[in-house]
Amino acid sequence: MELIVPFDSQSDSPLYEQIYQYIKDEIRGKRLGAGSRLPSTRILAQNLKVSRSTTQMAYDQLVSEGYIEAQPYRGYYVSKIEELVEVRQKSAGSFVLEKDWEEHRFEVDFSPRGIDLDSFPFNTWRKLSRNTLVDDNKEMFSAGNPQGELSLRIAVGEYLHSARGVDCSPDQILIGAGSEYLLMLLAQILGTDMGIAMENPTYKQAYRVLKGEGYHVVPVGMDRYGMNVERLQASGAKIAYVMPSHQYPTGIVMPVKRRQELLAWAYSGQDRYLIEDDYDSEFRYKGKPIPALQGMDRGGRVIYMGTFSKSIAPAIRVGFMVLPEHLMKVYREKAGFYASTVSRIDQNILYQFITQGHYERHLNRMRAVYKAKHDVLLNGLRELEDRFVIRGEYAGLHVLLTYRWGGSEKQLTEQAAAAGVKVYGMSDCFIHPEQNIYPSTVMLGYAKLSEAEIEKGTGLLKKAWS
């Protein structure tokens, strides 16, 4: 795509700001649609006869505001934005928020993304931040270990062993800025000349990253126990990406027998691996936590991944990956020169947060908060049980509703929207939406909502789907 930006030579605004404003207006006016690819900063700079740093500054600002997104190795794309909020000056020193494109018509948004930030331990985090920077700690501003700070890796390893049954040493742990970066790093370690199987439906962000890295991604159907091993065998893939402790979005908890079958598949071929994404195992409201698949592995075939985004906050951007020992050697050869993507300051704050007991107390508090919201949601949905099957409860931060007598997902979401409630269809979680085997199923997330909002939302849904 080519962009022609009409510069105003009489304007006091710098060129990068004019580029930023033009593209922003094009997106807001829907002249640049969601998913549209923008020219690279280099090509745009050549076309506009400006420096590349000028176009890069404009793109960086658009990325930071969420208008566009940078996809690794692919370029810049216009984001899918359902609603924009603009700050406009009303009078000198006075600002007002105005909604763009259309008035927000959803009174309640049951988004499966996000967490309850009202319960974030701000005071504790602030105190630990001060402690980290006390006495002009210059060491925090020097380059650290590419794998992450040893102290943090020890703390994470001890937590994983006690809470998840993961068996590893600190030398097997890599710290990175989120699961997306760690998947990109893993592609450097394993190479991309092999097929990778993913549960279908699945976590689409992981699919996008793996696809963007050049993997041939094969969707593999599931039964009520998780990924179907016979279909996995037939797929020809050598890597399988699974979420055994709480599959997203179905909520399936993989039983021991299926886990053993997956391990047997991995052991039966050369260079076969299982990527275990343990994204939200902390939140289980009935029974004991399910131990990680990695703890059952005796052949070094499970690559374990986790993140603090759900349990603490998305902005923390700290994830971790546990590699089998033989893959650590490959990591050091192929990717050991990459610098850590998490600042030493943030790593030290998190280390203190874990080792001083704040993390455990925070998890206990959040389990209680989410359990209360979970119960309010199920209580509010009780009157719909004659029409809907409710699944995925007692764990995670969302539930699934399937209409007993068929009908389309679109009809359910539109009826809810007409009542002022946003719910999310399962088709968005399928690698190929036409493969949706849950045509009458919607997802309801509750983490970001207050109990009062959940009660209001379920009340509106009862009227919409009556």
- Domains delineated in the chain: 15-100 (1.10.10.10), 108-120+361-464 (3.90.1150.10), 143-356 (3.40.640.10)
Give the pLDDT mean for 335-353: 93
d(CA 79, CA 81): 6
Report the share of the chain in percent with pLDDT over 70: 92
**Phi (first) and psi of residue 239, to 5 degrees:** -130, 140
In this prediction, residue 102 has a pLDDT band, given cuts at 50, 70 and 90, of very low
- As a whole number, the mean pLDDT across the chain is 88
Predicted confidence at residue 394, as pLDDT, reads 77
**pLDDT at residue 450 is higher than 80:** yes
Give the pLDDT mean for 279-284: 80
Question: In the structure encoding, which two tokens stand for residue 163, read together?
Answer: 């809470």
324-340 residue pLDDT tens: 999 999 999 999 999 98
d(CA 237, CA 275): 13
230-254 residue pLDDT tens: 999 999 999 999 999 989 999 888 9
Give the pLDDT mean for 115-126: 90
395-421 residue pLDDT tens: 889 999 999 987 788 899 999 999 999
Contact (CB, 8 A) for 55 and 71: no
Using the structure block, give the residue that is written with the tokens 């399936």.
Answer: 252
Would the CA dihedral through 168, 151, 243, 327 be positive or negative? Answer: negative
36-55 residue pLDDT tens: 899 999 899 888 888 888 88
Predicted confidence at residue 91, as pLDDT, reads 44
Predicted confidence at residue 288, as pLDDT, reads 67
| pTM exceeds cut of 0.85 | no
Contact (CB, 8 A) for 81 and 67: yes
